[in-house]
């Protein structure tokens, strides 16, 4: 009979103290002499308290906790395209807290290892960073946030940063398999496949400052002060999602991962500490599934893009929305398309990123993987003189 998952929730306004308390109260395996790879969300060059990346004080608490239990600790990341791990560790404040304590590992520095995905729905093998496979225990330390493509981004989703370099992008470019229910994206199925081979041994969700709304990178920081920890990643994610105001069984990648690869997301079957969680729920504004709603006059055709292009377009809209409106077409809208599945779009559409290259005859193609927001605006100005 499977063991009942145990998930601890600590409430504290101070990031280091809250994270350390959650770890100290959780049941952890024997750590003496073990190699631990801490995998925070340091996938972007964000600022330390932005809610986009893991709070450096939470990473420091995990370093201290696991070292005090006799483990050899390293911290690793394979960030999104366009930035290096060195840059993201530096800007997120992790370099500062880790220096002279632990090794920071650029997970892309070594050649990828190929890992088969038995029973994968959309993946048959994946290219994984070897340091991940060599660790005795990988600890996923996501920040609590919403996500336009996956509803939430928590412990399981954070493991995508263990995939080598461009392999992360491939997850957004997979063909949709026959029979996948309509409400499930191919990306959800890919993350569920990952759960079978890349599940962390321990998960600590950083809810010191979360991110709500336009996640994963352009939402609003949200002071929360909750830390969720446990050995069963799916159970931890389910509890964290509940605390954010989402029903875990309605989050496609969690539901599929539990069905396909085992794991519990049924709150009635998870032993939580404290037992009563409803008083701790702090509702997050969900990410819009349609950027067009947030930015009037703009129609975004998001056709299986990945987070890198999505972030670029969000940044473009945030910074240059009113300028862009000067370039509206005959229907008085600015059309922007991105992702590998762009089909027919109105003439004059801004085609963002290399994935749209085969549609360049339909509009203004801006190359890059991803392109930079300021370059997109410059290209529009050049071509509409």
List residues near ligand SF4 by CB under 6 A.
81, 169, 172, 305-306, 308-309, 338-339, 353-355, 369-370
Q: Is 94 left (phi over 0), alpha (psi -120 to 50) or beta?
A: alpha
CB of 166 to ligand SF4, least distance (A): 8
DSSP string computed for 260-311:
HH-----GGGSEEESS--GGG--PPPPPPS-HHHHSTTEEEEE-S--HHHHH
Q: Which is nearer to ligand SF4, 303 or 325 (CB)?
A: 303
Residue (of 110, 116, 142) closest to 129 by Cα position: 110
H or E stretch at 59: helix 56-68
Q: Which is nearer to ligand SF4, 333 or 367 (CB)?
A: 367
CB of 79 to ligand SF4, least distance (A): 13
CB of 341 to ligand SF4, least distance (A): 10
Q: Which is nearer to ligand SF4, 248 or 339 (CB)?
A: 339
CB of 172 to ligand SF4, least distance (A): 6
Q: How far apart are CA 112 and CA 223, in angstroms?
A: 37
Long-range contacts of the stretch 25-30 (C-beta < 8 A, 24+): 25/229, 25/273, 26/202, 26/229, 26/230, 26/231, 27/230, 27/231, 28/69, 28/202, 28/231, 29/137, 29/201, 29/202, 29/231
Please, what is the Cα angle at 124 between 123 and 128, to 5 degrees? 80
Q: Which is nearer to ligand SF4, 112 or 337 (CB)?
A: 337
CB of 373 to ligand SF4, least distance (A): 13
Give the residue closest to ligand SF4 by C-beta. Answer: 353
Q: Which is nearer to ligand SF4, 35 or 354 (CB)?
A: 354
Q: Which is nearer to ligand SF4, 34 or 170 (CB)?
A: 170
| Whether the Cβ atoms of residue 347 and residue 329 lie closer than 8 Å to each other | yes
3-state secondary structure (DSSP) of residue 241: helix
CB of 310 to ligand SF4, least distance (A): 8
Q: Which is nearer to ligand SF4, 75 or 190 (CB)?
A: 190
3-state secondary structure (DSSP) of residue 48: coil
CB of 262 to ligand SF4, least distance (A): 31
| Whether the Cβ atoms of residue 188 and residue 16 lie closer than 8 Å to each other | no
Q: Which is nearer to ligand SF4, 317 or 338 (CB)?
A: 338
Cα-atom radius of gyration of the chain, to the nearest Å? 21
CB of 44 to ligand SF4, least distance (A): 13
Q: How far apart are CA 237 and CA 251, in angstroms?
A: 10
């Amino acid at each position: 009979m499977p063991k009942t998952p145990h998930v601890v929730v600590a409430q504290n306004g101070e990031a280091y103290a809250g994270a350390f308390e959650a770890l100290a109260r959780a049941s952890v395996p024997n750590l003496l002499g073990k190699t631990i790879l801490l995998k925070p969300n340091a996938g972007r060059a964000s600022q330390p308290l932005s809610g986009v990346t893991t709070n450096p004080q939470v990473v420091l608490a995990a370093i201290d906790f696991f070292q005090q239990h006799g483990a050899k600790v390293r911290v690793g990341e394979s960030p999104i395209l366009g930035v290096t791990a060195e840059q993201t560790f530096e800007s997120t404040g992790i370099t500062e807290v880790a220096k002279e304590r632990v090794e920071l590992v650029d997970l892309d520095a070594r050649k990828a290892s190929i890992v088969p995905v038995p029973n994968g729905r959309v993946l048959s093998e994946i290219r994984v960073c070897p340091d991940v496979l060599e660790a005795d225990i990988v600890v996923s330390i996501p920040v609590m946030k919403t996500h336009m493509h996956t509803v939430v981004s928590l412990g399981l989703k954070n493991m995508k940063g263990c995939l080598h370099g461009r392999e992360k992008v491939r997850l957004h470019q997979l063909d949709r398999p026959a029979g996948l229910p309509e409400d499930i994206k191919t990306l959800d199925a890919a993350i569920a496949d990952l759960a079978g081979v890349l599940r962390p041994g321990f998960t600590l969700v950083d809810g010191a400052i979360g991110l709500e709304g336009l996640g994963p990178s352009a939402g609003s920081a949200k002071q929360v002060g909750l830390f969720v920890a446990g050995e069963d990643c799916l159970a931890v994610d389910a509890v964290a999602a509940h605390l954010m105001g989402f029903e875990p069984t309605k989050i496609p990648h969690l539901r599929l991962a539990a069905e396909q690869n085992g794991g519990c997301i049924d709150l009635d079957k998870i032993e939580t500490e404290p037992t009563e969680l409803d008083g701790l729920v702090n509702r997050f504004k969900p990410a819009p599934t349609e950027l067009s709603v947030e930015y009037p006059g703009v129609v975004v055709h998001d056709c299986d893009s990945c987070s890198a292009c999505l972030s670029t377009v969000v940044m473009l809209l945030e910074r240059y929305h009113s300028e862009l409106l000067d370039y509206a077409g005959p229907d008085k809208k600015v059309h922007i398309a991105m992702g590998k599945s762009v089909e027919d779009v109105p003439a004059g559409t801004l085609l963002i990123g290399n994935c749209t290259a085969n549609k360049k005859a339909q509009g203004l193609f801006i190359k890059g993987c991803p392109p930079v927001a300021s370059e997109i605006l410059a290209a529009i100005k050049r071509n509409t003189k």
